[in-house]
A and B are shown apart, each in its own frame.
Chain A
Amino acid sequence: MRWLFPFLAAVALTIAVMTAAPRAAAPEDELPEGEGKKILVASCTSCHDLSEVTKFRGYYDRSQWRDIVVTMMDYGALVNEKQVDVLADYLAEHLGKP
Chain B
Amino acid sequence: MNTAIGRRLLLSALLLTVSSAVTAQVRIVQTNSQGDNIHLIDPATNTIAGEIKGVPINHGAAALPDGSLFFFSSEAEQTLHVVDGKSLQTTKKIPLTGRPNNISISKDGARVYVGIVSSPGAVDVIDTKTLERVKSIPMKGGIHNVYVTPDGKYLVAGSIAGRLMTVVDQKTDEPLWTLFEEGVRPMTFEVNPDGSTRRIFVQLSEVHGFAIVDFHQRKEVGRITLPNDVPAEKVDKGPFNASPSHGIGVAPDGKTLWVTSRPNARVYTYSLPDLRLLPNPVDLGGRPDWVTFTPDSKLIYITTENTDLVHAIDVASRKEVAQIKVGKSPKRNITAVIR
Interface residues of A (CB under 8 A from B): 45-49, 51-52, 55-56, 59-60, 64, 67-68, 70-71, 74-76
A56 and B76 contacting across the interface, CB-CB below 8 Å? yes
State which residues 281-339 of B face A: CB under 8 Å.
329
- CB contact between A47 and one of B56, B141, B241 (< 8 Å): that residue: B241
Q: Which are the 4 A-B pairs with shortest beta-carbon distances?
A: A74-B161, A59-B76, A55-B34, A48-B241
A71 and B239 contacting across the interface, CB-CB below 8 Å? no
A49 and B239 contacting across the interface, CB-CB below 8 Å? yes
Within 8 Å of chain A (Cβ to Cβ): is B235? no
Collect the chain B residues with CB atoms within 8 Å of residue A51's CB: 34, 329
Q: Show 28 residue pairs from A and B whose CB-CB distance is below 8 angstroms, ordered by the A residue.
A: A45-B239, A46-B239, A47-B240, A48-B239, A48-B241, A51-B34, A51-B329, A55-B34, A55-B329, A56-B76, A59-B57, A60-B76, A67-B98, A67-B99, A67-B118, A68-B99, A70-B119, A71-B99, A71-B117, A71-B142, A71-B161, A74-B119, A74-B142, A74-B160, A74-B162, A75-B161, A75-B183, A76-B205
Collect the chain A residues with CB atoms within 8 Å of residue B98's CB: 67
B241 and A64 contacting across the interface, CB-CB below 8 Å? no
Collect the chain B residues with CB atoms within 8 Å of residue A52's CB: 34, 241
Within 8 Å of chain A (Cβ to Cβ): is B190? no
Within 8 Å of chain A (Cβ to Cβ): is B77? yes
Collect the chain B residues with CB atoms within 8 Å of residue A56's CB: 57, 75-76
Interface size on B, residues (CB 8 A): 25
B119 and A67 contacting across the interface, CB-CB below 8 Å? yes
B161 and A64 contacting across the interface, CB-CB below 8 Å? no
Q: How far is the CB of B250 from chain A (nearest CB, A)?
A: 27
Tally the A-B contacts, defined by beta carbons under 8 Å: 51
**A35-B34 Cα distance, complex, nearest whole Å:** 26
**A74-B121 Cα distance, complex, nearest whole Å:** 11
**A3-B78 Cα distance, complex, nearest whole Å:** 65
Collect the chain B residues with CB atoms within 8 Å of residue A76's CB: 205, 242
Q: How far is the CB of A70 from chain B (nearest CB, A)?
A: 6
Assuming A55-B33, A56-B57, what are 6 further A-B pairs, CB within 8 angstroms? A55-B329, A59-B76, A64-B78, A67-B118, A71-B119, A75-B242
Interface residues of B (CB under 8 A from A): 33-34, 56-57, 75-78, 98-99, 117-119, 141-142, 160-162, 183, 205, 239-242, 329
B242 and A47 contacting across the interface, CB-CB below 8 Å? yes
A64 and B99 contacting across the interface, CB-CB below 8 Å? yes
B118 and A71 contacting across the interface, CB-CB below 8 Å? yes
**A74-B240 Cα distance, complex, nearest whole Å:** 17
- CB contact between B160 and one of A60, A67, A75 (< 8 Å): that residue: A75
**A60-B75 Cα distance, complex, nearest whole Å:** 10
Collect the chain A residues with CB atoms within 8 Å of residue B142's CB: 71, 74
Q: How far is the CB of A30 from chain B (nearest CB, A)?
A: 14
Q: How far is the CB of A6 from chain B (nearest CB, A)?
A: 41
Q: How far is the CB of B115 from chain A (nearest CB, A)?
A: 12
**A27-B258 Cα distance, complex, nearest whole Å:** 33
Closest A residue to B57 by CB, please name it: A55
Collect the chain B residues with CB atoms within 8 Å of residue A49's CB: 239
Collect the chain A residues with CB atoms within 8 Å of residue B76's CB: 56, 59-60
Collect the chain A residues with CB atoms within 8 Å of residue B161's CB: 71, 74-75
Closest A residue to B161 by CB, please name it: A74
A59 and B99 contacting across the interface, CB-CB below 8 Å? no
A74 and B75 contacting across the interface, CB-CB below 8 Å? no
